[in-house]
Structure 1
Amino acid sequence: MSGTPFNPALVPPGISAGPDGAGAVRARTQPVRPSVQTPQGPAFADVLRDTAGTKPVTFSKHAVQRLERRQLTVDPSTMQRLQDGVDRAAGKGARDAVVLVDDKAFVVSVTNRTVVTAVGKDQMKDHVFTNIDSAVIA
Structure 2
Amino acid sequence: MNSVDIENRIIGASPRIGAPKPASVPSANTAASGPSFSKILSDQLADSGAKANVKFSGHAQSRLASRNIHLTSEDIAKIGDGITKAAAKGAKESLFLTDKAALVVSVANRTVITAVDKTALKDNIFTNIDSAMII
- TM (norm. structure 1) is 0.59
Partner of 2:81: 84
CA RMSD of aligned residues (A): 1.5
Q: Could you tell me how far apart the structure 2 residues matched to 1:120 and 1:70 are?
A: 7
Structure with the larger strand share: 1
Q: How does 1:11-50 map to 2 (within 5 A)?
A: none
What are the residue-to-residue correspondences of 1:1-138 with 2, within 5 Å? 56-138=53-135
- Count of paired positions: 85
Any gaps of 5 or more consecutive residues in structure 2?
A: 1-50
User: Are the equivalent residues in 2 in contact too, given 1:60–1:115 (CA < 8 A)?
Assistant: yes
Question: Quick one: which amino acid aligns to residue 107 of structure 1?
Answer: V
Over the matched positions of the two proteins, sequence identity in percent amounts to: 47
Structure ranking higher in helix proportion: 2
Aligned-partner residue type, residue 90 of structure 1? A
Matched with 1:25 is none
DSSP-derived class of the 2:94 partner: strand
1:55 Cα deviation after fit = 7.1
The runs of 4+ residues in structure 1 deviating greater than 2 Å are none
Larger CA Rg, structure 1 vs 2: 1
